[in-house]
Structure 1
């Protein structure tokens, strides 16, 4: 897969994720956030299971079967996925689809920062103003109605950290193992089982509730998890983590569009300014290094 094809695939993923915010919000009218998260990720694991089995057999035939260290890495990715998905889902109980979409994208400036801290890869200068501008934009967006950040906004903002670590590591893990489907499905199973265990302790789980929320759960389970998250693992083998982060951040725009069309979300001037500032920072953190590289090529 070429880098261009990987980037186009990431845009398609962002579109699916942006639309999924609406389904995630609507589904919780009938089930709790952890129940919703657990069931949809297990559905995603079921969707990708035939490809997992095929990949497992191919690796075994080549005597490249996964070992305990590989299993530990998949477990770690699954726990990161659980934290990010759970915090985001809980936040959607108390905030709008539009806010959740933009606040989730705060993981984008975190990716190069964490790459520096964890992998010793120094960030471009643009990361610092982008991170600061994102925080200001977050305040403006969350405070669009009375300049106060509600509990839902805080949950979604907190989810940015595990999302960032996940984006940073998932492509590397899948590439080293040469097993993108096993990595994808394995992390889905971990997330689904942990979330359902959490739900069993904190939420009532009823068959009638699952039936009522069936369509949002199936939509997000099949498309958002089974298709989009699996495609992310594949695409990030061919795209650098900061590049992937900025492209995936376009889910914020898709979330706002779907929230406007399907749920009647509206923002005042302060909220719109916050959205614009966040998106400008997301572009800065990616485009500034590219412009510098292009200038070097022009001088050569």
Structure 2
């Protein structure tokens, strides 16, 4: 069962990586917050319809709502700033900066949960930070406001990873996913109506635009409802470390999609930065110390 869960997570990473390109195209017509509000609202309607169909409303407990609201706030920060960042930076840079959430997790765990990061996690964080510098300031167009927004989004995703690992032990995957998704929809709509020009954005012409409509459907049902349900469910069959490691393929899929779809290319320094970030993500999750101890024991024998 574990191989099926991990294969499903790889599929999630592929979906998220591919959607960087189509989301960037869609937000040319709909502003970021309103786009995410519509995306998550459609996903929430599907999830709550499934809950009603399966007669699982009793599982929508007070604890599930509390945990789902916290996860929803983290996701709102992640998706809102990531989507806004796409207005100002490239798909490839967005994917790899978002991937830094993997190496931010051990640092936040130290602050929030008082868990000291392993040596490999610390080395991975430094390696990824060097890669971030090369990617953004060292030859991929320079550091810009879009990169900063995406980095804030990566912090939101890192908090989401930490709290998901804790909260999935107390609620069903379906109800917890539904609550966090409807929370993101509500918060994005509030922000969109307050900060964006919703009068000119929410028009029939924009909403029926093939690029916008197809992106909303793909991101709502595949990249949101299905993807977060898989992520929440898979932790029952595999470890959080393996979950994060598999999802670290997301920026790689994003960069490959940008290359083949819109011919987006990175400079040599940018490619080196991408490699550093990916290596850092791997180092942050591979149990190097256990491997070294195993090799040492094998040599002695």
Specify if TM > 0.5. yes
Query: 2:227 maps to which residue?
Result: 228
User: Which of 211, 221, 224 does residue 208 from structure 2 map onto?
Assistant: 211
1:100 & 1:215 partners in 2: Cα distance?
A: 21
Asked whether the 8 Å contact 1:108–1:242 carries over to 2, the reply is no
Q: Which of the numbers 67, 74, 84 marks the counterpart of 1:80?
A: 74
Is the Cα contact below 8 Å between 1:111 and 1:242 reproduced in 2?
no
Find the partner of 2:178 among 185, 201, 209.
185
Which stretch shows the higher mean deviation, 253-262 or 288-297? 288-297
Equivalent residue for 1:53?
A: 52
By how many angstroms is 1:238 displaced?
3.1
- For structure 1, which segment, 271-280 or 283-292, has the greater mean C-alpha deviation from structure 2 after superposition? 283-292
**Pairwise CA distance, 1:59:** 7.0
The equivalent of 2:61 in structure 1 is 67
Structure 2 portions without partners, runs of 5+: none
- CA deviations on 1:145-166 (whole Å, 9 max, x unpaired) are 4763001111111111110110
* 1:293/1:10 CA distance change after superposition, 3 Å: farther
Classify the secondary structure of the residue corresponding to 2:170: helix
In structure 2, the residue matched to 1:291 is: 291
User: Is structure 2 residue 155 aligned with structure 1 residue 161?
Assistant: yes
Within the candidate set 126, 139, 158, 1:132 is matched to: 126
- Any conservation in 1 of the 2:173–2:232 contact (CA below 8 Å)? yes
**In structure 2, what is the equivalent of residue 270 of structure 1?**
269
Q: Which moved further from structure 2: 107-116 or 158-167?
A: 107-116
The 1:10–1:294 alpha-carbon spacing in structure 2 relative to 1, beyond 3 Å, is farther
Question: Residue 171 and residue 297 in structure 1: after superposition, are their counterparts in 2 closer, same or farther (change >3 A)?
Answer: farther
- Alpha-carbon distance change, 209 to 294 in structure 1, aligned in 2, over 3 angstroms: farther
Deviations 1:77-113 (A, max 9, x none): 1111101000100000011111100000001111122
Q: Relative to 1, partners in 2 of residues 1:17 and 1:71: Cα closer, same or farther, differing over 3 Å?
A: same
Match of 1:106 in 2: 100
Deviation string for 1:196-229 (max 9, x for gaps)?
A: 1111111123222222211111111111101112
Q: Which residue of 2 aligns with 1:201?
A: 194
Alignment of 1:237 onto 2:236: yes
* Contact map agreement 2:103 2:121 (CA 8 A) in 1: yes
The answer (yes or no) to whether the contact 2:64–2:179 under 8 Å persists in 1 is: no
The verdict on how the C-alpha distance between 1:98 and 1:290 changes in structure 2, with shifts beyond 3 A counting, is farther
Aligned to 2:40: 41
What TM-score do the two structures reach when normalised by structure 2?
0.90
- Taking the aligned partners of 1:158 and 1:8, their CA distance within structure 2 comes to 29
Deviation at 1:6, TM superposition (A): 2.4
Consecutive unaligned residues in structure 1, runs of 5 or more? none
Matched, 1:97 2:96: no
Give RMSD over aligned pairs.
2.1
Aligned residues: 293
**Structure 1: distance between partners of 2:80 and 2:123:** 29
The corresponding residue for 1:142 is: 136
